[in-house]
Structure 1
């Protein structure tokens, strides 16, 4: 029992420290009011470090992930089915969250800032799409305002490296090394998060007052209820699709250990061994589980998809914008898919997705990112549960569609 307690505290130490920093900063803001403006530069330094690390981190993460895929015809059909299942469940989870925020709307009375939105260049729809997806010069990719263009470019570089075969091995090694270095850099920067966000929140509380407290309660309640509903109802439906009542029983009988591991470690990557063991007990073929689960851990995240929708709707309410237009919702669905891919395998990788959403919608980064980061921290445990368990149920469906597996 003592060992489990220690492991739990270790797994959640970063979350607890971050929440502690925010709480202490809030107290400082309430007590010292405008005097805490002197520590605002501490928060600015943290955010600036995070902003500058994002661009190379996104590039190396995506390119190295694509470059390390194995090109084999045997896995071609399996890979296509797996991607279809991943995309399908991601979209379903996002739609469930959209319905939840419509049934329990986050109203505009939570507005905590009057900062205007960043200017977005006007033009025809085609011009705006071209500006969103590409840049006309390489150096413009290095701006966080071109995040989506950078992601597309990174995918292309990754596939080009993959197609280069042995001649591209040296470049692939460079990408792998760069990916590891940038992951370590982000880990180092995030050690400053309790102090940086604490200083930021102290200033926010002193400036905007106690109305900040409680604004997160409703969105968090909506998110947790939606996730619990999705976990039990839709995972059960997925199991039925994978093989009827027998698959339903097999899934829920073997799902306890992976679930507890996901909640206990707060990491999809750390849950891979438990997921593989459960998949073996379920009777999922080895070549299926050994592809879907390890690849799903960084690329397939139902919980992150739902949290992405929550953060976007919260930011829209925060800045008094309307989230109901079809184009806004379609763009949000596209962002959730990209976020699921981009953040995989990166410590605190959800922040990259948050920056992408903030950039695409034109919210002021300095105001929107800390709020999105706080929400991301608070939803992390149950998001990890859906992320990790989604790989197990996806492997069942992939096995059913590709191998006609019967349980």
Structure 2
């Protein structure tokens, strides 16, 4: 019990600070705006760090994947499964948000004007979205997709350079560690920053704002449980038929409980590897997919990202309808799932990406961050167990439909 409390200590502290801030806002009303600068300071610190953090984490992760050549087929199958399951999770939550409309009770006016730039053609928009005309433009958070592509290219080029690229790979890895540490340092201030921000927010918009959060939570928990029960059962059936379902449910409860107890995909990895082994997933597949999946495959994060997008659209009274809006939201869910790290209370990078790609005001960041804190336990559980069933799907694609029979004897002897 103590370990569980310790694992969730920081999210609990954040939640308490948000509750205290909300109470202060209710008591002081509009006078609570006097402490809003304390919240703005926290937001500015996060946005100051996001560009180098995204660059170093993505480029260093790709630069270190030198085993991908040997396991190219596994990687290709893995990425296909990750993308397809991520899209399904996003659509699953999209349907729920369209039905229940979280965040629709309060209308916060946008603090920055809508863009007035001339309408560009689709091809021009694509070019502007994925590239920039000058190197210095990469360092603007308004060009986040271009930054991600640049980071991927740097990582790939570093890995392909071989021995001569190793010093640079070390630099990238070191940079990633340094900026993750900076995030940790900034997060020590998060309880004060979020508390102050929510005091000002609730003080201005009242109790209806709190009711919107309750509605968002009531949407997320049942949807995530349904996805876990129905979606993963279906994936297990596709991977191994009735036997796949039996093996999955027989072995998945331990990783699920561990992920709930630790709040971390990485901390759940040893237990998840054991579960995959007992299910019959071959060694090379499970030891490739599960470690990578702990950081780049997060169905639970796709679910929460869609909820955050719908919520912030509702709060800022933006129109969350139309195929273009929905496709963009699904794409952002996949991207935010890829950049989210497997640490307790993580996800700020994905949240910053939602804000920057939609051109929302900075005030939207703490609003959706609070959702991330509340839904973190079930999101982590779906993330971890999603990796296990994905390894089963990849094995089915690699080894054929009778892979479970092939695996029974060798795995039993190990």
For 2:404, what is the secondary structure of its paired residue? coil
What's the counterpart of residue 166 of structure 2? 169
Matched, 1:88 2:84: yes
The offset of 1:44, in angstroms, is 1.4
1:318 pairs with 289, 305, 315, which one? 315
Q: Deviations over 1:74-123 (max 9, x none)?
A: 31111111111111111111111111122323363332345355426333
**Alignment check: 8 A CA contact 1:8 1:264 kept:** yes
Matched, 1:354 2:321: no
Q: Deviations over 1:123-165 (max 9, x none)?
A: 3133332222221112222121111111111111111111111
The offset of 1:210, in angstroms, is 2.4
**Alignment check: 8 A CA contact 1:30 1:205 kept:** yes
Whole-angstrom distance in 2 between the partners of 1:29 and 1:106: 22
Q: How many residues of Structure 1 are paired with residues of Structure 2 in the alignment?
A: 402
Matched, 1:228 2:225: yes
CA RMSD in angstroms comes to 1.6
The offset of 1:71, in angstroms, is 4.1
**Alignment check: 8 A CA contact 1:62 1:158 kept:** yes
Whole-angstrom distance in 2 between the partners of 1:166 and 1:400: 36
Q: How does 1:135-284 map to 2 (within 5 A)?
A: 135-284=132-281
Whole-angstrom distance in 1 between the partners of 2:266 and 2:258: 11
What's the counterpart of residue 334 of structure 1? 331
**Alignment check: 8 A CA contact 1:97 1:309 kept:** yes
Give TM-score scaled by structure 1 length. 0.95
Give TM-score scaled by structure 2 length. 0.93
Q: Deviations over 1:1-49 (max 9, x none)?
A: xxxx110111111111001111111222222334433322211111111
Matched, 1:300 2:297: yes
Whole-angstrom distance in 1 between the partners of 2:240 and 2:387: 16
What's the counterpart of residue 398 of structure 2? 402
**Alignment check: 8 A CA contact 1:98 1:309 kept:** yes
2:96 pairs with 87, 93, 100, which one? 100
Whole-angstrom distance in 2 between the partners of 1:215 and 1:294: 36
**Alignment check: 8 A CA contact 1:298 1:341 kept:** yes
Distance 1:116 1:109, change over 3 A: farther
Whole-angstrom distance in 2 between the partners of 1:164 and 1:402: 30
Any stretches of 5+ residues in structure 1 without a counterpart? none
What's the counterpart of residue 52 of structure 1? 48
**Farther off after superposition, 10-19 or 123-132:** 123-132
Whole-angstrom distance in 2 between the partners of 1:63 and 1:345: 17
The offset of 1:68, in angstroms, is 0.8
The offset of 1:64, in angstroms, is 0.7
Whole-angstrom distance in 2 between the partners of 1:203 and 1:183: 29
Any stretches of 5+ residues in structure 2 without a counterpart? 406-414
**Farther off after superposition, 8-17 or 27-36:** 27-36
What's the counterpart of residue 16 of structure 1? 12
**Alignment check: 8 A CA contact 2:224 2:378 kept:** yes
The offset of 1:379, in angstroms, is 1.0
Distance 1:120 1:190, change over 3 A: farther
Whole-angstrom distance in 2 between the partners of 1:102 and 1:121: 29
Whole-angstrom distance in 2 between the partners of 1:174 and 1:199: 37
**Farther off after superposition, 239-248 or 315-324:** 315-324
Whole-angstrom distance in 2 between the partners of 1:90 and 1:43: 33
Whole-angstrom distance in 1 between the partners of 2:388 and 2:123: 40
Q: How does 1:61-80 map to 2 (within 5 A)?
A: 61-71=57-67, 73-80=69-76
**Alignment check: 8 A CA contact 2:101 2:311 kept:** no
Whole-angstrom distance in 2 between the partners of 1:193 and 1:309: 23
2:372 pairs with 376, 380, 385, which one? 376
Distance 1:22 1:329, change over 3 A: same
The offset of 1:360, in angstroms, is 1.8
